[in-house]
Amino acid sequence: MNRVVIILCCFLMSGFLLASCDVPVSEGQHTKYVMVIHGGAGTINKESMTPEKEQAYKEALTEALQAGYDQIKEGRASLDAVQSAINVMENSPLFNAGKGAVFTHDGKNELDASIMDGATLKAGAVAGVTNLKNPINAARAVMDKSEHVMMVGRGAEIFAAANGCDTVPPSYFFTQERWDQLQRMISQEETGHAAFNDIDPKSSSISGVSGKDKKFGTVGAVALDKSGNLAAGTSTGGMTNKKYGRVGDAPIIGAGTYCNNATAGISSTGWGEFYIREVAANRLSSLMELKGLSVDDAARQVIDEIGKMGGNGGIIALDKAGNVAMEFNTPGMYRGMIDENGKVSIFIYKE
Ligand code: ASP
């Protein structure tokens, strides 16, 4: 009798498995995403974008997602996926991170990055570094190879170089478009034609982002690996024309980056001062943990609150079930996601 029941169960189960393989995923069925990225939020309009530029962004975002996905597919940790995706964007001049970093008022490039592991709540960050090719790798080194969470300036550079991170001469970060963007901002500031958040809207052609957004273009990634672990990271050149060693939210754990397997992995982009005051990334996680909000509702609330404070930008998040949130209160945000089957979706404007 027992044997009959077991055979019957096996028969029914194999039928179910076969059926579930054959049935295409129908609408409304849950799609599990394994990675979400952003390449900055801002006044990204169709009018200031050429088809070629749009295509270049789409290709770079796809390459970043693919690099992260390959790590996950091979069974590596979400931290590796985050690092790989961010490395692709850091190596592209299109984004305000790594190679394409914006200039400070003094004509330098000072880069910030952070990374966090949702399984252990370990984190690493660097700020104000000038000769590290991939600041996210330095953040990872701080997390993995030191007893600290954050290192800045020369100390961070020495530590990162000693721990195998690639160094470059500061001139590596020179791009003509970013340089011209700085010159325009300085002259507008000098002639009194520009306030902090009011720069000639035509001043940037590099990204289709108006000059109003001198602080946008950061990159970030969140990944979910096969073991169910989340990781998040953010990398930036900060804000064009920044002065006095200004540091934004990107390297601040809890503001620019936060990750907790119990809730979500989060990366921010936008007007950093507001994200620091909102403790944006941690707030999103706390809204999920303490108020039971979905990742989507929590992201929307954080962006609403930032808007009410007078700030703007975007935020991406991925929860442990593979649900994605991509919220922003600017006209656009470069963003994309990839699901567990490798299907890529890229968006730029408000859809
Ligand atoms: N949040 C960054 C900062 O304030 C800038 C950005 O997201 O593009 O430094």
Cα–Cα distance for residue pair 121/100, rounded to 1 Å: 30
Nearest CA to ligand 1 atom 8: 216
Cα–Cα distance for residue pair 273/260, rounded to 1 Å: 23
Q: Any idea where the domains of the chain sit in the sequence?
A: 33-349
Query: From first to last of its 351 residues, what are the pLDDT tens digits of the chain?
Result: 455 444 444 344 433 333 333 333 445 568 999 999 999 998 888 888 899 999 999 999 999 999 999 999 999 999 999 999 999 999 999 999 999 999 999 999 999 999 999 999 999 999 999 999 999 999 999 999 999 999 999 999 999 999 999 999 999 999 999 999 999 999 988 887 544 344 333 233 333 344 444 557 899 999 999 999 999 999 999 999 999 999 999 999 999 999 999 999 999 999 999 999 999 999 999 999 999 999 999 999 999 999 999 999 999 999 999 999 999 999 999 999 999 999 999 999 997
Q: Which residues are catalytic?
A: 218
Cα–Cα distance for residue pair 255/240, rounded to 1 Å: 20
- For 20-57, write each residue's pLDDT tens digit: 333 334 455 689 999 999 999 988 888 888 999 999 99
Pocket probe for ligand 1: among 267, 269, 276, 303, the residue whose CB has the most ligand atoms within 8 Å is 269
DSSP label at 221? E
Residues with CB under 6 A from ligand 1: 40, 96, 215-218, 236, 238-239, 248-250, 269-270, 272, 313
CA of 202: how far to CAs of 85, 110, 181, 215, 350, in Å? 30, 24, 10, 15, 20
Cα–Cα distance for residue pair 275/278, rounded to 1 Å: 5
Cα–Cα distance for residue pair 342/68, rounded to 1 Å: 11
From the alpha carbon of 217, which atom of ligand 1 is closest?
A: 8
Phi, psi of 249 (to 5 degrees): -80, -25
Q: Give every CB contact of residue 46 below 8 A, 6+ residues apart in sequence.
A: 349
From the alpha carbon of 242, which atom of ligand 1 is closest?
A: 9
pLDDT at residue 197, as a whole number: 43
Nearest CA to ligand 1 atom 6: 216
> Please, are residues 326 and 333 in contact by the beta-carbon 8 Å criterion?
yes
* Domain 33-349 CATH superfamily: (Glycosyl)asparaginase (3.60.20.30)
pLDDT at residue 351, as a whole number: 76
> Please, are residues 114 and 233 in contact by the beta-carbon 8 Å criterion?
yes
pLDDT at residue 234, as a whole number: 98
Cα–Cα distance for residue pair 107/74, rounded to 1 Å: 42
pLDDT at residue 257, as a whole number: 99
Amino acid (one-letter) located at 148 = H
**Ligand 1 centroid, distance to 52 Cα (angstroms):** 25
Closest to 221 in 3D by CA, of 281, 273, 265, 283: 265
Total residue count of the chain as it appears in this document = 351
Residue with tokens 């801002």: 42
From the alpha carbon of 96, which atom of ligand 1 is closest?
A: 8
Cα–Cα distance for residue pair 166/137, rounded to 1 Å: 9
pLDDT at residue 216, as a whole number: 72
From the alpha carbon of 270, which atom of ligand 1 is closest?
A: 7
pLDDT at residue 18, as a whole number: 33
Looking from the CA of 21 toward its CB, the CA atoms found within 13 Å total 5
**Ligand 1 centroid, distance to 72 Cα (angstroms):** 27
Count of Cβ atoms closer than 10 Å to residue 52 Cβ: 8
**Ligand 1 centroid, distance to 220 Cα (angstroms):** 11
Closest to 336 in 3D by CA, of 219, 236, 252: 219
CA of 210: how far to CAs of 199, 213, 310, in Å? 8, 6, 18
**Ligand 1 centroid, distance to 178 Cα (angstroms):** 15
From the alpha carbon of 246, which atom of ligand 1 is closest?
A: 9
Nearest CA to ligand 1 atom 9: 238
* H or E element that contains 61: helix 51-73
Pocket probe for ligand 1: among 216, 275, 279, 328, the residue whose CB has the most ligand atoms within 8 Å is 216
**Ligand 1 centroid, distance to 214 Cα (angstroms):** 9
Pocket probe for ligand 1: among 239, 274, 277, 334, the residue whose CB has the most ligand atoms within 8 Å is 239
Nearest CA to ligand 1 atom 4: 272
Determine the angle formed by the axes of helices 51-73 and 78-90, rounding to 10 degrees: 150
pLDDT at residue 3, as a whole number: 52
**Ligand 1 centroid, distance to 28 Cα (angstroms):** 35
pLDDT at residue 44, as a whole number: 86
